[in-house]
Amino acid sequence: MTQRTLVLLKPDAVRRSLVGEIISRIERKAGWQITALELRSLGQETLEQHYGEHKGKPFYEPLVEFMSSGPVVALVVEGERVIEGVRALAGPTDPIAAAPGSIRGDFGTIVRENLIHASDSEESAERELKIFFPGLA
Ligand code: RTP
Ligand code: MG
């Protein structure tokens, strides 16, 4: 099943020069392809759209502040079961709970600064891709 997913390398990944390392892990998966890639700073409106499901939660404001603290790298990745696959490469949200070998397990620090976002379902992917790459066919 070929899918598309939205991946964000969060400001901590850019600041810590982990962009190449993380992208290599994605590229190493046979049959996956990066089809769009952009370094960009995220404004409040984009973040509110992207993380709207978390609005009102105690971690929402610090999350938005963190996500706007520096540029992110936004990518579209296409391939076989890529939605589930990139989530597996990333590991669980909390780096302490993430196994070594996963991106968050190897490099994550605190739960908020966990390096990578990846769409969690086909519905989320469709919604998020429209926010970040509206021109995509
Ligand atoms: P993401 O949406 O960024 O891919 O991460 P996720 O699905 O693994 O986690 P989610 O529950 O959607 O949370 C979104 C992001 O909010 C930050 N967070 N902080 N308790 C906390 O301080 C807390 N909980 C979540 C993380 O940056 C998480 O990735
Ligand atoms: Mg999420």
Query: pLDDT at position 46, please?
Result: 98
Query: pLDDT at position 36, please?
Result: 98
Instruction: Supply φ then ψ for residue 110, to 5 degrees.
Output: -110, 165
Closest-lying ligand 1 atom to the alpha carbon of residue 66: 27
Ligand 1 atom 6, closest CA? 93
Catalytic residue check, 54 = no
Query: pLDDT at position 137, please?
Result: 74
In CATH, what is the architecture of 2-132?
2-Layer Sandwich (3.30)
13-51 burial: b if 16+ Cβ within 10 Å, else e: bbeeebbeebbebbeeeeebeeebeeeeebeeebbeebb
Domain boundaries, the chain: 2-132
Can you tell me the ipTM of this complex? 0.95
Q: What is the pLDDT along the chain (137 residues), one digit of tens a residue?
A: 999 999 999 999 999 999 999 999 999 999 999 999 999 999 999 999 999 999 999 999 999 999 999 999 999 999 999 999 999 999 999 999 999 999 999 999 999 999 999 999 999 999 999 999 999 87
